[in-house]
Every structure is written in structure tokens, then in C-alpha cells.
Structure 1
């Protein structure tokens, strides 16, 4: 199966290293196997569909409704929507091939973030185009780096100009769709989602209902750095001498000290402050698989 799968993946990503790695990946094998069982062409599914993960920060930000509007205006249709419970293993599975350059602090913040709320996964389809749906969605979604976001992109629309708290995630290319589909959903959930995919009905209203349920369990919170620092200082019951609230290193030292002493501080405030003052990358370990952009796809197909 691995050689056949490698041939399939070679047509779904412009990165040979990714095709090689994914051919032995359990998540990819599960999705392709289940698609084969129901007679659905894996390549067509992966090119024509993508997933948009509304992370816990998107739930806190009440970002689902504007996202649904943006998807509709951008000619994407939501064909399935499901709530997922994430844990630290979910995070490491999803970003396995990039997480080796994440700093220890970023991993800690990510683990705190998944404890804030469940997430919402939207399965979307788009028109047949020169670009596959996942490539078009990722390009239109906007960059992780706030400085690179442009008007009209989803992340620009949603605001919260923050590298870590970027609200949404989507697979880069069709090969990633096959892998991430099995990370989000177990076999039974995949079967239900695929039945909805086959029906092709717009399920935006259902997504909005799921969002309302998540909102009822997850309070809206402030994304402001100063507010986060004030809450942490209140939790600690003291302000360290010489603390400059505008100095990143002072605030980073405050967080590291609280964690080292196992002090109880508000998780959301730690996430917000940490996202501003802690390093996101180690700068030492090589990235296993680089992200794919629309240019990569077009060049790889030419």
C-alpha cells in the first residue's frame, strides 16, 4: 500500500519529502483507507475539500460568525461542522512536522490554550479551480505573521494581530487534508462527516449553532496585554520590584518565575501575555517540512 500511497501523495503536494513522510503516516492511511471503503476518490476529496479549525482563541474572540460570512463571500461552502476536544497530543499530532522548531514556551502556551475551550472544525468545499480548495483557503486565510496579513484575508478581518493567537488553522495542501482529517475525527466521526460531504448541503447554520453552544461554555476574554498583566499580578498578590510593564524581558521573567514556583495564575492571561513576550521559535532545530504556498503548488504542477 505504501508505494501506491506514495504515488497518490506525489500528486497532492509539490514537496517530495512530504509525500515520502506521509506515505508511512497512520493518519493518512486511515483517511485513504476509509475513503476507499466507501468508494470515494481520495485525490478528488483532498483537492476539492479542506478544513478550517476554529481554535479556542477563536471561540473566546467570538470569531465564528464573521468567519462563516467570510467563507460564504469567498465562495467556500461549509458542508460539515463538528466540535472537537483537543489535548496536548492533538496539538503535537497536528503540527508534528513543524513543532520541532517551536520554543518550549510556545508549547506550554499551546497546551494552556487547548484547555480554554473545545474547538470547532469546519469542512469546506470550493469550486473547481486552478488551485485546489486547501491551497486557495490557506492563501486567502492570511499569514501567521501579523505583519504579512493583507485586507480581505480572514486573519486580517478577524484582527487580534498576534503570532500565536491567530484564531484559525487550515491544511496547506491536499496531502495535509488527508492527514488532518483523521487527526480531527475518529472513524465514526469521519463516517458522519463524509456522509455530509457527499450530501453537499450548506451547514453554516449548524456551525453557528455549535458556536453558540461553545460560547455559552466559554466566556469572552480580553486580548489586551496590559489587562493580562494586571490579572497575573493580582493573582500573584504582589508586583515585583523594578518590573517595567512595557519591557518584554521583565514580563517574560515574571511568567517564568510564576511557572517555576508553580504559582496559580489565570491561564488565559498567561497565554495573552506570553504570546507577546515569550519566544515562539527555538532558532536551532531544522523544520522537517516547510509550509506550502500557492506559488509552490502552481510551480510544482507546471
Structure 2
């Protein structure tokens, strides 16, 4: 049995990861400020601390005796990072630096850092890790800086780290509030309220959706892997799905709203590195996962 600290463990992905770690018999500590997370998402067998990753003394205390840190805590709201880059920098960069400092000082064996495809900006498809990142938002830049800290802390201090660049994660507990992007729960919530689904721009923009269960498995495999130098791995399905296709599958009326700043237009991952280094591949077909959510939200 290992002891794990999950920052952001009351959030969408973090709570699923916590559940899985507990099911494997591990001791889990959850740190979350509940800005975007929900207390009811936290497994009752986890030790919960309401707090902030900007609180370095708290992090140092929580890291004592911990074997692995899964660092998911962040402010992932891309539009908010454009409106207030200073505040989100404080959370996403300074907070992440605090996590690495606390882990190093406590002798943590490995840190699994949650990054994002937003580091890339617009690229030729499919997107590979050897492409030069050109973030289009402060959020993407913040995460890229976190990856660089992961690599630097390995080089300077010998801390084992790995970074996972999530593409568009979907699944149960993903709400229509808070995090970003969130077109699927927004559409489902609008359908629940008998409202028209709001399609940004022409709706032809695509995303690469990966189910939360596959992302949880990627975290476990990253922890168990031989990757220690902070190098990033794409975690995506390798398939493009347009906003229009999602609205058509959910079915119902729709309206178009203006495009937003900072968004990538087309996204498709190449996750070969994750397959080679982590022995990870996605297993949940997108339409199967979406159909399950539609049944859960709408009963149809």
C-alpha cells in the first residue's frame, strides 16, 4: 500500500482518480480549495483537507510520508486566464512550484503533473510532443511552465516527475460550471432545461475527447512507469469530433454564438509516446461514453 496526495482531488478528474486509488488499497490524502471541486465528490475513505496549493507550509505538512503526488489542482478556466492572467498565474504556476518544492523537501518518490493540450496552440495534426509549443492563452503558458518545472526539479534535485498532457476529458461528474472546455455538459444541461444548445462559432471546430476512466488509468501507469525526467506524454484518443457532431448526437435545437479568444480550432492527438513509455492506450469509444452520459443526464 502506498500513500498518495491528490491535489484537486475534489474535482472532476481528481475525484475519479481518488476513487480508483482507494479501490487499489492505497491511502489517499486530498487537497482542494473547493473553488471548482465539490466536497461530495471526495471518497469518504480519503483524508480531506480544504486548502490551497499557494499555501506552501500546508503542502509541506501534507507531503510528509507521501510516496506519490498527483498534482491536478489548477484553475483550468481558459477565458478567466485571459481576463485575469495574474491571478491564474499565481494558482497555476506559483502553486505548482510549491507542489514541487514540498515534494522535494519531503522525499516524495514521484510527482505526476497534470498538463494540457492547450500548451500546443495551433499545430499540424496530429499533435505530437516533439512539436514546439505555442500557447494561445495564459492557461496554456502556465501549464507549459509547470512542465518545465517538472523537468528542472528532476535535473536539479533528482525528483522523479512525469507530465500528462490531457486532451479533452469527459465523463461523469463533469459539470456545466467551472472548468474548461465543457461543451458536452453544457449541451446536456441546456437540453435538461429545454433550452437551445449554444454552439460557439460555426461549430466545425474539433476536439479530441478522452474518457475520464482512461485518464485515471494513465495516471496510474505514469506513476508505475520508468519515466522520471518530467517529459510530457499526450493523453488523447487520436480522433477529432466536431461541436456540431456532438450537438447532433445529443439532438435538439441549437443557436450559434460568437467565437472566443484563445481557443485552438482543430485538435487531434498522437499518443504514441504514452503507448511506448506508459503502455497506455484509450479504451472507451467516444460514442459509447457520450451515450452513457446522455442516458445519465436525459434518460434517453
TM-score, with length taken from structure 1:
0.26
| Larger helix percent | 1
TM-score, with length taken from structure 2:
0.26
State the structure with more CA Rg: 1
* Larger RCO (alpha carbons 8 Å, 6+ apart): 1
